[in-house]
Structure 1
Amino acid sequence: QAAVVDIISGGRLDLGLGAGYRIPEFELFGADPAKRYGATDRRVRELRQIWAEGRVTPRPVQERLPIWLGYLGPQGARRAGLLGENLLSAFGPIAEPYRKGLAEAGHAPETARMAGGIQGWVSDDPERDWPVIGGYLAYQLDSYRRHMVEGTGAPTPRPVDPDRVRAREASKSPIDYFHYGTPEEVASGIRAFVGDAPVDTVYLWASLGGMPADLVARHVDIVCTRLAPLLRETSAPATPSAR
């Protein structure tokens, strides 16, 4: 499937892989969630071997199709480095274990490449919009938190307080923080989040769960016309672009 998409797109596919987290999905395939990280690593090696040996035809257009591993913590970052793959996270503090993993496995540390999602929302009037945005944020986070415990026997988590989420310092967990503010404030937050990590691209939600189309369109416009230029400023060459 990846090879076909790479061909159709003219060699523009980046393949992202994650370990998963929902227990019902593991049960559906008789898989052990406790072994999901090792299984993900094996899948990467198998994909590389299949393509290298020409065991599927047609082959991808790209000589080495980019694989991005969605590991968010330091141990996962090291695993991505050991495999010599890209790291699908923009969280600056895990760049060091990622580079160490690359070096440990004989890969050049300067080949480190990171990109990832930023949890946040950009507004031209944050205080005006927050009562609405905060409600959609709470709905989305509560949905994720229910999914996390489904099938585990654990109780459903209490509803989140969006004000507390907004006030937290950004972290590796995508459900524990939320960058919110003007384009300038969000750009500053993204720079602090990324630090000096080798991040060249970040992406944001266009919408939060259940939002009407007009609100989504307004957000897409402000991200593209006001946030993205701030992240592309030549005065900050290490700053990622927004997608």
Structure 2
Amino acid sequence: MASIQLSMGIPSFSAEAPASWEHLTDWAQLLEGCGFDRVLVSEHIAFGMNMEAYANPETGGTEGGRQPTGPDGHWLDPLVILTYLSARTQRIRLGTNILLAALRPAAVLAKTVATMDVLSNGRIDLGVGVGWQREEYDAAGVDFDKRGAILDQTLEVCQRFWRENEVSYASPGLSFDRIHMMPKPIQSGGVPIWVSGTVNRPVARRLARFGSYWIPWGPDARDIAGGIDRMRAAVEGVGGDPDGFGVTGSLRVKADAEGRSDLAAVAANAVAQAKAGVTDLRVTYWPLGSENRERGLRAFVEAVRTAVGG
């Protein structure tokens, strides 16, 4: 069985102001030491009062979902966090899950991410999506109803700046001529882009054009095998390579009353997802307390690696 990557999201947000944010460094170094491939952080720039929109699939949310903080939750900027963590780690990759890339001017984002890649020695992954919150786009002065098209434009401009020496671009909303931007990212072809979303034609086009990986969302994340089949067909339908992208899956670790995790169940789940086509397994919540954390994480990594390779 082909090897699989292991990633974990760490809490870069807090419902209340924490006494310190040093847990970010602690988590990143711990995951690196335990053999994880990637550490992930999420993003919100601002909040409106309509937090229930997170559970509305029609605007990008997920049915039954709940935002982890209220509107006054504390959220750190993910690009700043990953730059900070790049100086405190050596090997582990550093990714966004996800960045609302359309909220940033394309050239500014291209420069920022290329700089991060250079300073981290080529360890950056850029996970992107359109988000669910209209008020966040309003606060940034970006048209929520055009967010998909703006995201596509942003990704195109970023990749061209990362790959080409001289770039000219013309669209109704953005035009420039013979622009140079250095340095380029260390990674060949630029920073890998991970496209988040459900199976639909715009997301399939985005993945086919720009993406190296797909982050399933909503019902396609819950039915990962069916979601992969549907996305491969959708990507092929827009002229892309149905086998040309990796796929993220999710592993949930449960602990019993004594704080022990069922690693046999974790391994079986990992094998099933790998057979379905998942190439990156992500842990979004770690149930064991700090006393057992390192031992539990090492046992988890060993169980998954033994089951699926890597």
TM-score (norm 2): 0.48
Whole-angstrom distance in 2 between the partners of 1:217 and 1:5: 33
Render the CA deviation track for 1:26-58: whole Å, top value 9, x for unaligned. 120133333333332222222112223333211
Q: 183, 188, 205: which is aligned to 2:263?
A: 183
Q: Are 2:253 and 1:121 aligned?
A: yes
Render the CA deviation track for 1:56-81: whole Å, top value 9, x for unaligned. 2111111212111122x211652343
- Match of 2:292, SS state, is helix
Q: 198, 210, 213: which is aligned to 2:277?
A: 198
Q: Are 2:175 and 1:48 aligned?
A: no
Q: Are 2:300 and 1:227 aligned?
A: yes
Whole-angstrom distance in 2 between the partners of 1:51 and 1:196: 34
Whole-angstrom distance in 1 between the partners of 2:276 and 2:157: 28
Whole-angstrom distance in 2 between the partners of 1:232 and 1:6: 27
Whole-angstrom distance in 2 between the partners of 1:78 and 1:221: 40
Whole-angstrom distance in 2 between the partners of 1:34 and 1:117: 29
8 Å Cα contact 2:205-2:238 kept in structure 1 = no
Partner residue, 1:112: 245
- Which amino acid counterpart does residue 187 of structure 2 have in structure 1? Q
Q: 185, 205, 208: which is aligned to 1:60?
A: 185
8 Å Cα contact 2:267-2:304 kept in structure 1 = yes
- Match of 1:88, SS state, is strand
- Which amino acid counterpart does residue 282 of structure 2 have in structure 1? Y
In structure 2, list runs of 5 or more residues that go unmatched. Answer: 1-111, 166-179
8 Å Cα contact 2:215-2:248 kept in structure 1 = yes
Partner residue, 1:3: 114
Whole-angstrom distance in 1 between the partners of 2:210 and 2:306: 30
In structure 1, list runs of 5 or more residues that go unmatched. Answer: 131-180, 209-213
Q: Are 2:95 and 1:95 aligned?
A: no
Whole-angstrom distance in 2 between the partners of 1:51 and 1:215: 42
- Match of 1:232, SS state, is helix
Whole-angstrom distance in 2 between the partners of 1:19 and 1:201: 21
8 Å Cα contact 2:208-2:241 kept in structure 1 = no
- Which amino acid counterpart does residue 281 of structure 2 have in structure 1? V
- Match of 2:150, SS state, is helix
Counterparts of 1:152-171 in structure 2, within 5 Å, are: none
- Which amino acid counterpart does residue 97 of structure 1 have in structure 2? R
Give the stretch that moved more between structures: 8-17 or 85-94. Answer: 85-94
TM-score (norm 1): 0.60
8 Å Cα contact 1:99-1:112 kept in structure 2 = no
Shift of 1:87: 0.7
8 Å Cα contact 1:3-1:58 kept in structure 2 = yes
- Match of 1:109, SS state, is coil
- Which amino acid counterpart does residue 127 of structure 2 have in structure 1? G
Partner residue, 1:134: none
Whole-angstrom distance in 1 between the partners of 2:137 and 2:184: 30
Partner residue, 2:131: 20
- Which amino acid counterpart does residue 99 of structure 1 have in structure 2? R
Render the CA deviation track for 1:133-180: whole Å, top value 9, x for unaligned. xxxxxxxxxxxxxxxxxxxxxxxxxxxxxxxxxxxxxxxxxxxxxxxx
- Computed over aligned residues only, the root mean square deviation of the Cα atoms, in angstroms, reads 3.0
Whole-angstrom distance in 2 between the partners of 1:185 and 1:10: 36
Whole-angstrom distance in 2 between the partners of 1:92 and 1:27: 36
